[in-house]
Amino acid sequence: MLNTAMYRGHCHPAHSGMTLIELVITLLMVAVLATLAAPGWISQIQRMRRSDAIVTLARLQQAQERWRSQRPVYAGGLGKDGLDLPAVSPAGHYDVSTSIQPDTAQRDYRVTAVARGTQADDRLCRWLVLEVVSGLLQHRSGPDAQVGNAEPLNRQCWKS
C-alpha cells in the first residue's frame, strides 16, 4: 500500500516562481516608492528645464545690447522689425518676449520667459524676467506676471 503523504510529496514539484500574493506585495512596494520619489524627481526636472529660460533670456539680453549699440533705443519686439528671434526657447519649454516703454526705450527694456507645456507646472517659477531699469539689471521671478517672488525664492528660481 502506498503512503499518501509521500505520494503527495512526490507528485507536486516545488514552486519556482512567485505566488500571486508575493507579486501583489512587490507591486505595492514599488508603487509606494514611486509615489514618494516622483515629486522630488519632477521638481528636479523642472529646475533643469529652467536653464532653457535662463540661457534664452541671456541671449535676448545680449541681442538687446547689440541692437542698442547701433540705434538710439532698445528693440520693442522679437519680430522682423525687432530682434528677429524666435518667440520660443530652443528646447520649447518657454515662450519668450521682449518689451520696452516708449518714454524710457533709450535706457530700459524687459525680456520675459513664461513656462509652457508641462513646465507650466513649475508654479513658483513660471515667469522669469530680466529687466534693465536705468542701466541696472534685475532678475525677477514669480508664479504670474506680477513676478513678485521674495528674494530667497527668486534666487532659487534663477539657479539652474
pLDDT tens-digit map of 72-108: 999 999 999 999 999 999 999 999 999 999 899 999 9
For residue 159, name the pLDDT band (cuts at 50, 70, 90).
confident
Could you tell me what percent of the chain has a pLDDT over 70? 88
For residue 28, name the pLDDT band (cuts at 50, 70, 90).
confident
Q: What does the alpha-carbon distance between residue 127 and residue 124 come to, in Å, rounded to a whole number? A: 8
Residue 97's contacts (CB-CB under 8 Å, 6 or more residues apart) are: 77, 78, 87, 111, 112, 114
Q: What are phi and psi of 19, to 5 degrees?
A: -80, 165
pLDDT tens-digit map of 3-18: 445 555 555 555 667 7
Instruction: Please tell me the total number of residues recorded for the chain in this structure.
Output: 160
pLDDT tens-digit map of 109-118: 999 999 999 9
pLDDT at 85: 96
